[in-house]
Each structure stands twice: as structure tokens, then as C-alpha cells.
Amino acid sequence: MVKEKRGSGPLSRRPDNSAFKQQRLPAWSPSLSADKLLPIFYILSGVCVLLGVVLLLTVQGTYELKVDYTEAGSCLRCHDLRKESRYALTNCSCAVDFNLSEPFTGDVFLYYGLVNFHQNLRLYMDSRDDGQLVGRKANLKSPSSYCKPFDRVNKTPIAPCGAVANSMFNDSFALVYHQPDGVTDVPLFRRGLTWYTDKNVKFRNPNPGNGTLPQVFQGTAKPLYWQRPVYDLDLSEPNNNGFINEDLIVWMREAAFPNFKKLYAILNRSRSPFRSGLPAGRYTLHVRYNYPVVYFRGRKEVVLSTVTWFGGKNHFLPIAYLVTGGVLLVTAVVLTVVYVKVGKDGKNMET
């Protein structure tokens, strides 16, 4: 019996004698010297500062106005009414006046905002049935267990189920512009508020077949705190009901922070005097006040805003670029001083 030599034969684990497997490939190891690194620091600093200035000027070109209507004007009565749960379904309307000191030129977007409402809690975010929302009829009759306790009412399945849908924002708004010769309603688009993938992929109504949408939802109940069933959310537009209702879709996209805003409408610039945007002057916001905020110590507001290619009015990224550029510049200057003082060969570092 002949023993195999160590490192040879079919049972050997020794890799092949190649440049790749024996790690003999040529490699480049950069020499990090001051004369090579310092220009990089200065270039990066200049790029960051330049981007920060450009973004800051872009943000300064946007307009934004926040109107807190939680307890403003006649809305105080509605706010007090919503404190009592037995009045939750009682209609209450109010109005708040505000002024635009300068015109909002271009496309103007109207958002509703909530303060101190945490949509990013894990249990809250999980409390939904995506099978329902894509139109699966089986999920209408048998909601997901994740929806509990908002899955059934007296053994009747809820559609849409879950805490997210149950807490849907349901205030509605109308805007009026006071001209010198009278009052004009501000025209608003209530369509085109959602992403294409949301409207056509993530949210779909069950196939009604030869029936109607209300017939498809027979045998289901509306969420506990809704005033109307899901198939009748929009009285003015039948094609905006069910799970493809745009207000529902916008609400179901949870916000990352407790203070957030969600798109409600877009200014219709098809007629005067709104062809260029919202003119400066006095406005009245008419609100159908339905949503209670006293339970989570929140606030409600309407936000009017214009946007640019960069988005809305947000100073975080410009300031971040300016601060980063400043830190890089200071670091580069300090390293330059050290490099000049110590010397290229490091002779001045001798003790």
C-alpha cells in the first residue's frame, strides 16, 4: 500500500499553483501623501458648498404657508364637539381666514397635516390586509388576523380592515378667494394624487362581474370610525370609490415621522385669476370638521406649497451640504498648515 504524498492526489485541498489562487496577482496600493490628499479635500469641499448654495437658492424660491385650524376661529366649536365620542358622527363645519402676503406662482399643492400622530409604530403599520386592498374576494369575507381588533363588527368582516384604514383622515376642505369685486371659489383638482403603482398595482377593487361595486361589498361593514362605506367614499365621482379611492390610498402610505403632511388637492390653473398660481390677498378655508385629535394631543393644519425640481420647502439637505463642505474645508486648511509646518520630508517632526 503506497501512501499519497502530502499536498497531492485527489483528496488534496491545496489550491492550484496559479496567480489568482496563490494571490500573486499584481495589485495597486495607493500612497496616501499630503500632496495627493489635500487637493481631494479642497475639491470635495468646493463641490459640497456649491451644491448647498444651489439647493438653498432653489428652496428659497418655493413658497409655503401653514394654517393651523385645530381650534382657530369657528373651528373651536367643532374641536370641542369632537371631544365627546357620542358626537363623532355629527356634522360640523367651520371657516378660517388667512392672508397670502405674496403670490404663490406656479403649481400650488394643498396638503393636510397632522402633528403628533405616529404612523410608524410597528403594530399600527402591520394592522392592514393587503390581500383585501388588491381586490381578493376571499379576504373580504375572511380578513387577516393582523387586522384585529379592527377586523369584524358583530362577526361582520370590515372592509378595509385594520387600524390604518380605521384611522383614515376624513376632514374635507374648500378654498375661497376674496377679490375686490366679490368672492371666488378656488378650483382644485382632486385626482392625480397617487403614484401609478399604487393606483394600478397595490390597490384594486374586487371584480364585480355583472354586478355593481356595492354588491361586491355586500356582507361587509365599514370601519368603526368611518361615516360612509368604502364603496361610497366619493359621492361626486363613482370611479373614485372602493379600494381605489385616492384619499384612502394616500392615507395608507404611512408617514415616517409623527409630524407629516399628505396631499389633498392641486390647484386648477385653467381659469382666471389663478392661471399663474394663487394671487396674494385674503382667503377663507372652509372645513368639514370630522377628525378628532384630542385623543393623541395632536394638531391639524392645511399647508399650501409650491414645488421645484428639488421638491417642497425643505432646508435639511442644503444645510447638510453646507455644513459638510465647511467641515471639509476646515479640515483641509488644518492639514495644509500641519503639512507646511512639518515639512514634506517630516524633518521638523524630529525631537
What cell was used for 235?
359621492
With the CA atoms of 319, 325, 330 and 336 taken in that order, what torsion angle do they form, in degrees rounded to the nearest 10? 180
Q: Tell me whether residue 12 is in a domain.
A: no
What cell was used for 266?
392641486
What cell was used for 52?
448647498
Q: Tell me whether residue 311 is in a domain.
A: no
- Which of 97, 110, 106 is CA-nearest to residue 281? 97
Res 344 pLDDT > 80: no
Based on the fold, state whether residues 189 and 51 are members of the same structural domain.
no
Confidence of residue 347 (pLDDT cuts 50, 70, 90): low
Range of the domain at 113: 67-306
Res 248 pLDDT > 80: yes
Handedness of CA 245, 246, 251, 253 (dihedral sign): positive
Based on the fold, state whether residues 46 and 112 are members of the same structural domain.
no
Q: Tell me whether residue 350 is in a domain.
A: no
Handedness of CA 214, 243, 189, 67 (dihedral sign): positive
Summarize pLDDT for 190-210 with one digit per residue, the tens.
Answer: 999 998 899 889 999 998 888
Phi-psi category of residue 263: left, alpha or beta, with phi > 0 → left and psi -120 to 50 → alpha? beta
Q: Tell me whether residue 247 is in a domain.
A: yes
Based on the fold, state whether residues 134 and 103 are members of the same structural domain.
yes
Number of domains comprising the chain? 2
pLDDT at 349: 46
pLDDT at 351: 42
Non-local CB neighbours of 290 within 8 Å, separated by 6+ positions = 82, 91, 92, 170, 171, 172, 227
pLDDT at 235: 83
Q: Tell me whether residue 321 is in a domain.
A: yes
Res 10 pLDDT > 80: no
Q: Tell me whether residue 152 is in a domain.
A: yes
Burial of 350 (0-12, 13-18, 19+ CB in 10 A): exposed
Summarize pLDDT for 59-110 with one digit per residue, the tens.
Answer: 988 899 999 999 998 999 998 888 776 556 678 999 999 999 999 999 999 9
Based on the fold, state whether residues 245 and 326 are members of the same structural domain.
no
Q: Contact 303/65 with Cβ under 8 angstroms?
A: yes
**Cis-peptide, bond into residue 223, ω within 30° of zero:** no
Based on the fold, state whether residues 96 and 188 are members of the same structural domain.
yes
Summarize pLDDT for 50-71 with one digit per residue, the tens.
Answer: 999 999 999 988 899 999 999 9
Cell 409655503 belongs to 64
